[in-house]
Structure 1
Amino acid sequence: MGLERRAYARVGLLGNPSDMYGGWALSFTIADFSATVRLRPSPELLIQPHPHHDLVAFPSLPQLVSRLQSEGYYGGVRLLMAICKVFYNHCIQNNISLKAEKFTLSYDTNIPRQAGLSGSSTIVCAALSCLLNFYDVSHLIKVEMRPNLILNAEKEVGIVAGLQDRVAQVYGGDWFICLCITQDFSQEHMDKLGHGIYMPLDVNLLPPLYLIYAENPSDSGKVHSSVRQRWLDGDEFIISSMKEVAQPAFDGHKALLQKDYTELARLMNKNFDLRREMFGDDVLGSVNIKMVEAASKFTGSGGAVVALCPDGDSQVELLRKACQEAGFVVQQVKVAPSVLTDARGAVKFISFLVER
């Protein structure tokens, strides 16, 4: 019998990208977009390419080149192989025995490419869930440690990121407030616990949010950012700015508790303004900036925007009109369902606090 596991796209609401720089972040996953991974026992271990995302047959050489220029050397096969390696090595290092059975992994995803919705880690998260269940070791690998495994798998294929997306996806459709310090910097909490600390909030604190994205891939990232190197070099402006970027996530936690959505909207705008100062327009990309000008802030690294309309229906209509005129897709966000339970039964998380 086969397994099928799903993970959801992630929206980084506040604090992005300070989770990579010793900061805080508030993020959540959405039901609108997801990745599904299927695992079935098989005579040989096979990682099955996706017929579209892992395309290897082309009508001509120019079309191959065109595909690479528009989408790069991407695809999910490399991600599935990477999580298999990381999962296996983690089990070996922690004396977790694995049965000798083999399997076939396949995947599908409807997450828009290059939209800043954490599509890669979604595939990895769903695959990890399959592996945990297939080998019956879920009880031996703590939930708090699983985001680390997902991030390590992505690092295997050269993806640079922090933990906040992976934590949100592991907890399966929940809001999170996270105080994150990655392994690149302070190790105090990671050395002590090996994972973050997570704090739930009431799901009813969630305001209506709207996702705006371009149907064509984002132009974000075509200009290399020097922010990370400047951080490592001790650049005072970048270090102080990252602290400022983290603060809206902390303040946003309070705004959510008070259901002060006007303040939440202000913090979202502030988050983007600070990020723009650090990274510059060339790195953020003209399409991303145009979307933000129509709405509010990036969901992640760029490619999509999440908007909050605290003034009600009239503001929503203005948003829809602005997006339509600019050629962007806009839809109300649906929060993804939680998959976690505890001794008391189902737990509906809406937020988490990561302190490492």
Structure 2
Amino acid sequence: MENNGIIRSRAYARAGFVGNPSDGYNGKTISFTFDDFYAETVMYEAPYIELLPNRRDRSIYNSLDDLEQSVRECGYYGGIRLLQASLKRFREYCRKRGVDLGSKGFAMRYFSNIPHHVGMAGSSAIITACFRGLARFYDVDIPRPELANIILSVETDELGIGAGLQDRVAQVYQGLTYMDFNKAKMAQTGYGDYVPLDPSLLPNIYIAFKRELSEGSEVFHNDIRARFNLGERKVVEAMQTWAGLADQVRAALLEGRKNDVGELLNANFDLRRRIYAIHPDNIRMVEAARSTGASAKFTGSGGAIVGTYADDAMFAELKQTLEPLSIAVLKPNII
């Protein structure tokens, strides 16, 4: 434990670099985490279990305008439900494996500055931070592939949120990670092949995101899941193509062909655009970024993009082009 018996645990924002959204369909992806945004839990021993509300969980407002603004920023559901579902799954995991947690209780609060509903895996970051804190508090070791599965089950099974493994694997492993969700291996072992890559292999990378809320990932993923389950040919083939793009980017990185990456990222989005009805604001964001010569694709389900740029002059042009559109631009610090 840290000073005064306090445990602080963090999980960082995630950007789907290439291959997404094939992760939920036995595909392949490459993702990275970056510490510009993070979720954190703080725990300390107590004679009971207490989950302390965050600003996202408040039920008292100064006015109806205040309530409206809160809902626009945080949605209708706060983070307490994420902690509750995480604690339930953690208890079930320990009981199943005969881990005695004793009678020690705790108080827990959480914080997150990850932008809401822009595809940076904010919900799974809170859950991941919670599990890291619980594991340290109770001295429980959970293998990383298994931990990613548990975190996914918190969202899909406990809370009914449509999601894939990419975000959870990325946040559990951290850094830059290649993921292969091979169906046979998943069936045999319960998890895929997760291979850390050296972030120094990457070309110049930027992140840009809308300052206003975007559509939640539940809506996006539930639609594509239904189409995939119905066997819609172009969706099934698209998943295979996205997986192939992940392999192509991995090969380009390992072979030092950084200049080839941007075109592959563009192909990832262009295929997505042919498959989905994408909100015009998201299309404008991608096109505005590409107008500078940079590449651009979604980091997740919309609202944020990731891409490559040639040099500082192009990055400056990205900022000059996107910031007047209420789009923030940054160079991510991969961790």
1:4 aligns with 2:8: yes
- The aligned amino acid for 1:118 is A
Which stretch shows the higher mean deviation, 67-76 or 113-122?
A: 67-76
Q: SS at the partner of 2:197?
A: coil
Alignment partners' CA distance in 2, 1:133 and 1:221: 30
Contact 2:282–2:303, Cα closer than 8 Å, also in 1 = yes
Aligned partner of 2:178 in structure 1 is 177
Alignment partners' CA distance in 2, 1:223 and 1:203: 32
Q: SS at the partner of 1:107?
A: strand
Work out which of the residue numbers 22, 34, 40 in structure 1 matches 2:38. 34
**Aligned-residue RMSD, C-alpha:** 1.9
Q: SS at the partner of 1:64?
A: helix
Aligned partner of 2:331 in structure 1 is 332
Work out which of the residue numbers 243, 247, 256 in structure 1 matches 2:244. 247
Contact 1:212–1:306, Cα closer than 8 Å, also in 2 = yes
Compute the displacement of 1:313 (Å): 2.7
Percent identity between matched residues is: 38
Map Cα deviations across residues 166-217 of structure 1 (whole Å, 9 max, x no partner): 1111113x10111125xxxx4x323322222222323321222111111111
1:53 aligns with 2:47: no
1:15 aligns with 2:19: yes
Contact 1:219–1:288, Cα closer than 8 Å, also in 2 = no
Aligned partner of 1:190 in structure 2 is 186
Q: Is the alpha carbon distance of 1:70 and 1:35 closer, same or farther for their aligned partners in structure 2, counting shifts above 3 Å?
A: closer
- The aligned amino acid for 1:8 is Y
Alignment partners' CA distance in 2, 1:321 and 1:243: 36
Contact 1:220–1:288, Cα closer than 8 Å, also in 2 = no
Q: Is the alpha carbon distance of 1:23 and 1:302 closer, same or farther for their aligned partners in structure 2, counting shifts above 3 Å?
A: same
- The aligned amino acid for 1:36 is E
Counting helix residues as a fraction of each chain, which structure ranks higher? 2
Q: Is the alpha carbon distance of 1:40 and 1:221 closer, same or farther for their aligned partners in structure 2, counting shifts above 3 Å?
A: closer
- The aligned amino acid for 2:312 is D
Work out which of the residue numbers 77, 80, 83 in structure 2 matches 1:77. 80
Map Cα deviations across residues 126-159 of structure 1 (whole Å, 9 max, x no partner): 1100111111111xx2122100111111121221
Alignment partners' CA distance in 2, 1:211 and 1:80: 28
Alignment partners' CA distance in 2, 1:59 and 1:203: 46
Work out which of the residue numbers 99, 103, 106 in structure 2 matches 1:103. 106
Q: Is the alpha carbon distance of 1:69 and 1:308 closer, same or farther for their aligned partners in structure 2, counting shifts above 3 Å?
A: closer
Contact 2:209–2:329, Cα closer than 8 Å, also in 1 = yes
Alignment partners' CA distance in 2, 1:269 and 1:180: 23
Map Cα deviations across residues 60-91 of structure 1 (whole Å, 9 max, x no partner): 45643564366432211110111100111111
1:291 aligns with 2:285: yes
Compute the displacement of 1:244 (Å): 1.0
Which stretch shows the higher mean deviation, 240-249 or 311-320?
A: 311-320
Alignment partners' CA distance in 1, 2:218 and 2:168: 24
Gaps in structure 1 of 5+ consecutive residues:
337-356
Contact 1:294–1:322, Cα closer than 8 Å, also in 2 = yes
Alignment partners' CA distance in 1, 2:219 and 2:110: 31
Q: SS at the partner of 1:307?
A: strand
Aligned partner of 2:256 in structure 1 is 259
> Number of matched residues?
323
1:206 aligns with 2:202: yes
Compute the displacement of 1:220 (Å): 6.3
Contact 1:241–1:274, Cα closer than 8 Å, also in 2 = yes
Contact 1:31–1:335, Cα closer than 8 Å, also in 2 = yes
Q: Is the alpha carbon distance of 1:26 and 1:335 closer, same or farther for their aligned partners in structure 2, counting shifts above 3 Å?
A: same
Q: Is the alpha carbon distance of 1:227 and 1:200 closer, same or farther for their aligned partners in structure 2, counting shifts above 3 Å?
A: closer
Aligned partner of 2:275 in structure 1 is 278
Aligned partner of 1:304 in structure 2 is 304
Larger RCO: 1 or 2 (CA < 8 Å, sep 6+) = 1
Contact 2:173–2:196, Cα closer than 8 Å, also in 1 = no
- TM-score, with structure 1 as normaliser: 0.86
Compute the displacement of 1:32 (Å): 0.5
Alignment partners' CA distance in 2, 1:218 and 1:19: 21
Compute the displacement of 1:7 (Å): 0.7
Aligned partner of 1:352 in structure 2 is none
Aligned partner of 1:342 in structure 2 is none
1:238 aligns with 2:240: no
1:89 aligns with 2:85: no
Q: SS at the partner of 1:150?
A: helix
Q: SS at the partner of 1:27?
A: strand
Q: SS at the partner of 1:53?
A: helix
Contact 1:164–1:180, Cα closer than 8 Å, also in 2 = no
Work out which of the residue numbers 146, 159, 162 in structure 2 matches 1:160. 162
Q: SS at the partner of 2:193?
A: coil
Contact 2:204–2:311, Cα closer than 8 Å, also in 1 = no
1:135 aligns with 2:138: yes
Contact 1:219–1:286, Cα closer than 8 Å, also in 2 = no
Q: SS at the partner of 2:116?
A: coil
